[in-house]
Amino acid sequence: MNIALIAHDKKKNDLVQFATAYKHILEKHELFATGTTGLRVQEATGLSIFRFQSGPLGGDQEIGSMIAKNQMDLVIFFRDPLTAQPHEPDVSALIRLCDVYAIPLATNMGTADILIRALEKGAFSWRNIIHKRQGE
């Protein structure tokens, strides 16, 4: 599965912790991230991650473009709800696209924990049907 990892600055430590705890699951998938988040997670875990631009420079939109092509299967986006972001429209657009394409989206650690365990148990197999249909 293609998984996006994104975290606002005050949530990056949480995402690093999350990725470290679930490295054994994440390493079986294709990982994508916004620039700084990807670097932090890569440095801490050694996971191989394709890094887009930093969020404020368009990274959220690049991940959004994958969602619009139905190429992203899970989005883990630890948002900071207490700090204004200069690129708030991009953040909203990304979340909106997850809803448009029914892509599982975790915006906090509690949900991310449930989704990653579901992924491990095969709950995302329906996404393979979507990928097969796209290949037709």
Ligand X SMILES: O=C(CO)COP(=O)(O)O
Binding site for ligand X (CB under 6 A): 6, 8, 34-37, 54-56, 59-60, 91
Nearer to ligand X, 86 or 110 (CB): 86
Q: How distant, in Å, are the alpha carbons of 29, 47, 84, 129 from that of 32? A: 10, 11, 24, 21
Residue nearest to ligand X (CB): 55
Long-range contacts of 113-118 (CB under 8 A, 24+ apart): 113/18, 115/74, 115/76, 116/18, 116/22, 116/25, 116/26, 116/76
Binding site, annotated residues: 8, 12, 34-37, 54-55, 87
- Smallest gap from Cβ 100 to ligand X, in A, equals 18
Among 9, 14, 60, 73, the one annotated catalytic: 60
CB nearer ligand X, residue 63 or residue 127? 63
Residues of each annotated binding site for substrate: 8, 12, 34-37, 54-55, 87
**Catalytic (active site) residue 90:** no
| 8 A C-beta contact, residue 16 and residue 45 | yes
Residues designated catalytic: 60
